């Protein structure tokens, strides 16, 4: 069995043999060299080739296509961008609405390409259910969130409040307090998407080299252990692996997210739970949880993981019993009938977190450096937007895409915000996450006194403010 199969449920489920493509053994001269064969690198290659078929493009990947977050994620393909509310806050109302529409359209754009290129990745656009599912404070915070969306000009057709009874028509959870439904989200099989994209760009004439880690980079030049690449453009598409390409790690910190998958569940169990249209769902604590019912009827459920001192990458994703138990506890709170269900797969990955939690799409014509990342756990859709945007920026196309507030059209990496030096980052991150866990444990205990509930929520809310 290929070792790549152990990366995730998704990689394990692929029909293909999962053999690495040839490594880069000889020096190359190309127009565009892309580091990383995840969604960002492959979407960038795709749109560049569509717009300029004559370009000579090479994708250089340390492992195999889909080794990173793109082959591991929870499969929420969102028509959103992390921090979009803060990014769009200062725009005039009409422009803000146009930007929201652009983001909401991401799943439809992906669907068009899946159909055009014959990529089957179990795409289902059932929207997302943000559920107030464990304690009453979740209802209050979701209602606040909804109000803030409406204040920005969004409407019921974008985000709609569901009473417990309306929620139960889509998902049946033990303690429903209500929820929000948003239609602009699809669920997918992540590995089928990334592997399908790799085959598609190859068919279009892009060369992909695997097992070829880049060890040094500078404008116009890359090096692996065996060869060098000269290129007019260098695209940095490594997201959570930015630490491998100094100084990129100062701008995109690796944070983990960890998931479990159950065995396929019976039709009777799904009749009890619902989720019949491929809806994504979460329970709205600050643990950042996400779930979906897979095409083969498993429950996949994840929650945010840790951060290692000095931005060290986590390589071993054999989850500890505590990490699995936390995820089992969280989904069993929603679906008590799954308390003892068999978990067949547990895995995780590194994602890239930018300072202030705002994703960035950067292009510097002077140095020939482009990058898109810092999606902070919401990159399945954002990477499609990133690929489209980088293609337009590189080809100097004057489109709506390049005029968005997340685009940094010049200045390169220097235009990005850096993270604080250690030990501030580590201490800060862990203090914030601890306050979230403490809040969750306190609020989940119905015996907690009202004054304590308020206090822990205030503290966690205050700590969350530091992230922005
Ligand atoms: C567990 C988990 C769950 C997630 N769930 C969701 C979700 O449900 N919805 C959502 O929107 N987002 C989710 N995300 C985030 C999303 O998956 C990522 O934002 C997205 O996949 C990033 O794609 P990418 O191509 O930029 O990076 P990656 O997919 O990480 O690809 C980077 C590639 O670069 C390669 N690489 C690294 N260093 C080098 C080097 N030096 N030389 C050559 N190659 C190199 C890596 O091997 C890797 O293949 C999740 C992330 C994780 C980890």
HEC string for 370-435: EEEECECCCHHHHHHHHHHHHHHHHCCCCCHHHHCCCEECCCHHHHCCCCCCCCHHHHHHHHHHHH
Q: Which residue, by CA, sits nearest to atom 14 of ligand 1?
A: 377
User: What's the confidence (pLDDT) of residue 403?
Assistant: 96
For residue 256, the ligand 1 atom closest to its alpha carbon is 53
pLDDT tier at 119, thresholds 50, 70, 90: very high
- Pairwise CA distance, residues 446 & 234, whole Å: 54
Question: What span, in angstroms and rounded, lies between the C-alpha atoms of 59 and 236?
Answer: 10
Question: Which residue bears the tokens 């690929």?
Answer: 387
User: Of 27-31, 198-202, 286-290, 373-377, where does mean pLDDT reach its minimum?
Assistant: 286-290
pLDDT tens digits, 294-315 = 999 999 999 999 899 988 999 9
What are the tens digits of pLDDT across the range 352-407?
Answer: 999 888 999 999 999 999 999 999 999 999 999 999 999 999 999 999 999 999 99
Residue 274, strand partner residues: 171
Domain boundaries 123-188+254-352, CATH class: alpha beta
Q: Answer yes or no: is the C-beta of 237 below 6 A from any ligand 1 atom.
A: yes
Mean pLDDT along residues 42-47: 98
Closest residue to atom 18 of ligand 1, CA basis: 379
The string of pLDDT tens digits covering residues 263-275 is 999 999 999 999 9
Beta-carbon contacts of 156 under 8 Å, excluding residues fewer than 6 positions away, are none
pLDDT at 34 over 90: yes
Distance between Cα 379 and ligand 1 center (Å): 8
- Residue 302 CB less than 6 A away from ligand 1: yes
For residue 8, give the ligand 1 atom closest to its CA: 1
Residue 1 has pLDDT above 70, yes or no: no
Share of the chain above pLDDT 70, in %: 100
Mean pLDDT confidence for 86-101? 94
* 333-364 exposure pattern, b = at least 16 Cβ within 10 A, e = fewer: bbbeebeebebebbbbbbbbbbbebbbbbbbb
**Is the Cβ atom of 359 under 6 angstroms away from ligand 1?**
no
Q: What residues have CB less than 8 Å from 465, skipping those under 6 apart?
A: none
Q: What's the gap in Å between 38 CA and the centre of ligand 1?
A: 6
Rounded to 5 degrees, φ, ψ at 209 are -110, 125
Average pLDDT of the chain to the nearest whole number: 95
Total-model pTM: 0.97
- Separation between Cα atoms, residue 383 and residue 113, nearest integer Å: 14
- Tell whether omega for the bond before 423 is within 30 degrees of 0, i.e. cis: yes
pLDDT of residue 423: 92
Q: Where are the domains of the chain?
A: 3-73+190-251+356-415, 123-188+254-352, 424-466
Residues 192-225 pLDDT 10s: 999 999 999 999 999 999 999 999 999 999 999 9
More confident residue, 286 or 340: 340
Report the pLDDT value the prediction gives residue 363, as an integer from 0 to 100: 95
Percent of the chain with pLDDT over 90: 88
Q: 386 in ligand 1 pocket by Cβ < 6 Å?
A: no
Instruction: Report CA(457)–ligand 1 centroid distance (Å).
Output: 32
User: Is residue 430's pLDDT more than 90?
Assistant: no
Is the distance from the beta carbon of residue 78 to the nearest atom of ligand 1 less than 6 Å?
A: yes
Task: Round to whole Å and give the CA distance between 22 and 59.
Answer: 12
Q: What are phi and psi of 16, to 5 degrees?
A: -70, 160
Ligand 1 atom 31, closest CA: 38
**Residue to mutate, 130, 238, 406, ligand 1, most ligand atoms under 8 Å from C-beta:** 238
Indicate whether residue 73 lines ligand 1 (CB < 6 A).
yes
Q: What is the pLDDT of residues 144-172, one digit of tens each?
A: 999 999 999 999 999 999 999 999 999 99
* CATH topology assigned to domain 3-73+190-251+356-415: FAD/NAD(P)-binding domain (3.50.50)
Q: Report which of 358, 350, 354, 386 is spatially closest to residue 370, judged by C-alpha positions.
A: 386
**Ligand 1 atom closest to the CA of 352, numbered from 1:** 19
Q: Ligand 1: distance of its center to the CA of 181 in Å?
A: 27
């Amino acid at each position: 069995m290929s070792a790549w199969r152990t990366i995730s449920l998704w990689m394990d489920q692929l029909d293909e043999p999962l053999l690495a493509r040839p490594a880069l053994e000889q020096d190359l001269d190309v127009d565009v060299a892309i580091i990383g064969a995840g969604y960002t690198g492959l979407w960038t290659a795709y749109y560049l080739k569509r717009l300029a078929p004559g370009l000579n493009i090479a994708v250089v990947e340390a492992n195999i296509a889909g080794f990173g977050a793109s082959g591991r994620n929870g499969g929420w393909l969102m028509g959103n961008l992390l921090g979009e509310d803060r990014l769009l806050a200062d725009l005039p109302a009409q422009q803000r609405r146009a930007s929201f529409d652009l983001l909401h359209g991401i799943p439809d754009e992906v669907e068009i390409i899946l159909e055009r290129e014959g990529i089957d990745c179990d795409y289902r656009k059932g929207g997302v259910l943000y559920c107030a599912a464990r304690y009453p404070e979740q209802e209050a915070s979701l209602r606040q969130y909804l109000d803030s969306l409406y204040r920005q000009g969004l409407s019921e057709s974008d985000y709609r409040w569901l009473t417990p009874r309306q929620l139960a028509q889509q998902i049946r959870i033990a303690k429903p307090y209500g929820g929000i439904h948003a239609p602009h989200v699809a669920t997918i099989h992540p590995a089928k998407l990334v592997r399908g994209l790799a085959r598609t760009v190859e068919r279009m004439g892009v060369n992909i080299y695997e097992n070829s880690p880049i060890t040094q980079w500078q404008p116009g030049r890359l090096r692996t252990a065996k060869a060098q690449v000269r290129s007019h453009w260098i695209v940095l598409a490594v997201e959570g692996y930015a630490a491998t390409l100094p100084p990129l790690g100062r701008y995109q910190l690796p944070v983990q997210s960890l998931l479990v998958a159950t065995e396929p569940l019976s039709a009777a169990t799904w009749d009890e739970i619902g989720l019949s249209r491929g809806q994504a769902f979460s329970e709205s604590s600050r643990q950042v949880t996400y779930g979906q019912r897979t095409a083969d009827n498993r429950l996949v459920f994840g929650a945010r993981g840790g951060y290692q001192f000095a931005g060290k990458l986590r390589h071993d994703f054999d989850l500890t019993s505590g990490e699995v138990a936390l995820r089992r506890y969280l989904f069993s709170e929603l679906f008590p009938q799954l308390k003892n269900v068999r978990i067949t797969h547990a895995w995780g990955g590194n994602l890239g977190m930018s300072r202030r939690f705002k994703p960035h799409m950067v292009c510097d014509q002077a140095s020939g450096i482009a990058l898109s990342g810092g999606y902070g756990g919401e990159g399945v859709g954002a990477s499609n937007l990133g690929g489209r945007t980088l293609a337009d920026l590189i080809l100097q196309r004057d489109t709506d895409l390049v005029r968005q507030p997340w685009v940094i059209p010049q200045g390169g990496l220097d235009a990005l915000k850096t993270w604080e030096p250690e030990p501030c980052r580590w201490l800060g991150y862990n203090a914030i996450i601890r306050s979230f866990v403490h809040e969750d444990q306190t609020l989940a205990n119905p015996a907690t006194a009202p004054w304590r509930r308020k206090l822990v929520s205030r503290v966690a809310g205050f700590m969350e403010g530091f992230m922005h």
